[in-house]
Amino acid sequence: MARYGMALNYKNCINCRACETACKEENGVLLGKDNYRIWVGVKEAEGLFPNISIASQTYHPSQCQHCSNAPCQLVCPTNATYYSKDGIVKVDPVKCILCTYCINACPYDARYVDQRTITVDKCTFCSDTRLANGETTTACQATCPTKVRVFGDLDDPTSEISQLLAKKEYRRVKEHLGTEPKLFYIL
Amino acid sequence: MNTISLKKLFYFEKTPLNLLMAFITVALLGAFAAGAVLYILHGHHAYNVTRQHPWGLLISMYVFFVVSSTGLCIISSIGHVFGIPEFQQIGKRAIAGAIITISSGFAVIALEIGHPVTMLIYNVLTPGLTSAIWWMGTLYGMYLAFICLEFFFLAIKENHTLSKFFGIGGLLVGLAAHSNLGAVFGFLVSRPSANGVFYPVYFILSAMITGCYLIFLMYGFRYKMNFPAKVEVMLVKLSKILGMLLAVLIFFEAWKILTAVYGDLPERGATIMHSIKHPNFWFGELILGMLIPFTIILVSNAKAIKATVYASITGMVGIFFMRYDLVHDTLLYPMRTLKISEYELAPTFLEYFPSFAEFAIGFGGIGISLFLYYVADKVFNLDESHSH
Ligand code: SF4
Ligand code: SF4
Ligand code: SF4
């Protein structure tokens, strides 16, 4: 079985948000302020004019971290949130009671209420829309003009992502919480 | 149990206080119905909860009701579980109150949980044993069954042994359920200001305080402040217990705040500082909920029970703010720390104010409690029965 993860050359991000659009298109995510699986955080430049640090203005593309020790999964009262056999954290809309406990528990604000099913939704690594059809990339990855994302199997040492992580230094977000995120930000 | 006609059920002495209570009850019941209709029409859009602040007033009010219920159950157990004679008399009234308040809580939460029927099915089919909500819900279901049986054997088919048996069961399950409700917040690793041992313990403590306030209110209303000697003795004792519990709570809160701000750990110190500067905390929780009742008890050496009845009103308002802040403060610190659109400022502490529907349903729940209490008081003899 695969163990999917994603590496992000986040410094290449130009904040074009093609990924946000592609994700909505591919996965039928509705329009609306709270409805998104993926987003680009903008860190504003630091310093006072004229000493503004250009290097400090960075973009942080983000989505569900597919934590290996996911708080959202631990707190779910009906096991609606579960790990797929590929380590992808998913929500079963049949079992979700919309208690929204998982939204509170996720340290990354990765979850929202899908107004189509009235249950909680989040990034699925495109498992239903692409991986299930034999594709090996995610929509956000395929669309990215600067190729920020590398998606693949962390257990396969020859995969592009494993090779990349073996060579590069990276950090993970809020690692101190012990969530073991599977999004790797290449430094 | 009294058999009474419908006409008798709705007959009451038309004193100004009774009329006021009747008006409040009907108004709140109407509000609940209006809120429920809004929810049925618009779902969660009727509420001001968002992706970043997914829980709001309704969760607070649910906690408010179940805290009240557990508190009444704990305080009543002083008499009929632990056998302290002066407290025997509150058993029936307190357990009736416990059943009523938790039922109101369930009515409120049913309009907050998106799919309550799915919950009943999948709580059983695929239980999430690592979820504090699963434990809390399951244990509270058992608790309700226990205290209903306890009430049955206290008030309907009197049987001391069985009422005591179910009383002990209800108490233990209630304590477990209630501390699990604290753990719903205490287990949140994502929220450093809530994470930890504080809430599970604090919930039990504040439940006992709530139980005391409610006993004072129920007896103040029952005897219109002219307490028989026997009741007065009990209330003076209860007032001493309340004073001690409040002292523990104040001590506990002080250390919670000090440990939280000491060293200013990320996401924790600033969150707690932000919340204690808000009037909800220093006026609502601290002055109304703790200091006014505590001062009255301290100054009067626990003897001013009439004043304590009035202080129980501010006390319950304070308890409401404690429940409201519990939810809001837990969610205060944003989990998305960077701005994602050009048209916003960098995220800071989250704002939330309940919508009309949330107020209507949440406070409407109090109407349900008042109405059921009125009925219970008519149908069952909630005073101590004289057979023992
Ligand atoms: S990022 Fe949030 S939603 Fe995704 S697996 Fe981790 S805790 Fe769950
Ligand atoms: S909202 Fe749904 S997925 Fe989230 S914890 Fe509740 S039941 Fe589980
Ligand atoms: S992996 Fe798929 S579902 Fe996840 S953010 Fe990218 S496009 Fe959306």
The pLDDT value given to residue B386 = 61
Q: Atom 3, ligand 3: which residue's CA is nearest?
A: A123
For the segment A87-95, the average pLDDT, to the nearest whole number, is: 96
Is B346 in Cβ contact with A119 (below 8 Å)?
no
Q: Residue B203: enclosing H or E segment and its boundaries?
A: helix B198-223
Which residue type is seen at B308? T
Is B122 in Cβ contact with A99 (below 8 Å)?
no
Instruction: Say if domain A4-186 classifies as CATH 3.30.70.20.
Output: yes
Cβ within 8 Å of residue B227, ≥6 positions away: B219, B235, B305
Backbone angles phi, psi at B336, to 5 degrees: -100, 115
A vs B, Cβ pairs < 8 A, gives: 124
Chain A residues with CB-CB distance to B336 below 8 A: 39, 41, 108-109
Among residues A173, A69, A119, the alpha carbon closest in space to that of B43 is found at A119
For the segment B102-111, the average pLDDT, to the nearest whole number, is: 97
The pLDDT value given to residue B1 = 66
Structure tokens at B360: 């209507």
pLDDT above 60 (res A137)? yes
With helix as H, strand as E and coil as C, how does A117-172 read? CCEEECCCCCCCCCHHHCCCCCHHHHHCCCCCEEEEECCCCCCHHHHHHHHCCEEC
Chain A residues with CB-CB distance to B115 below 8 A: 96-98, 118-119
More confident site: B82 or B30: B30
pLDDT above 60 (res B387)? no
The pLDDT value given to residue B197 = 94
| CA A81 to ligand 2 center in whole angstroms | 6
The pLDDT value given to residue A167 = 96
The pLDDT value given to residue A89 = 97
Please write the tens of the pLDDT for every residue from B340-384: 988 888 889 999 999 999 999 999 999 999 999 999 998 988 887
Cβ within 8 Å of residue B234, ≥6 positions away: B86, B87, B89, B90
Please list, residue by residue across B250-276, b when 16 or more beta carbons sit within 10 angstroms of its beta carbon and e when fewer do.
eeebeebbeebbeeeeebbbbbbebbb
The answer to whether residues B175 and B211 touch, using CB atoms and an 8 Å cutoff, is: no
> What is the number of the ligand 3 atom nearest to the C-alpha of A27?
3
SS3 label, residue A4? strand
The pLDDT value given to residue B271 = 95
Is A179 in Cβ contact with B133 (below 8 Å)?
no
State the DSSP code for A36: -
Is B340 in Cβ contact with A40 (below 8 Å)?
yes
| CA B58 to ligand 2 center in whole angstroms | 17
Backbone angles phi, psi at A4, to 5 degrees: -80, 140
What ipTM was predicted for this assembly? Answer: 0.92
Pocket of ligand 3 (CB under 6 A): A 22-23, 26-27, 37-38, 63, 123-126, 138-140
Q: Check if B161 contacts A (Cβ < 8 Å).
A: no
Domain ranges of chain A: 4-186
- CA distance between the termini of chain B: 16
Distance, in angstroms, between A178 CA and closest chain B CA?
A: 9
**Structural domains in chain B, sorted by start:** 21-332+366-375 (1.20.1630.10)
Q: Check if B348 contacts A (Cβ < 8 Å).
A: no
More confident site: A177 or B11: A177
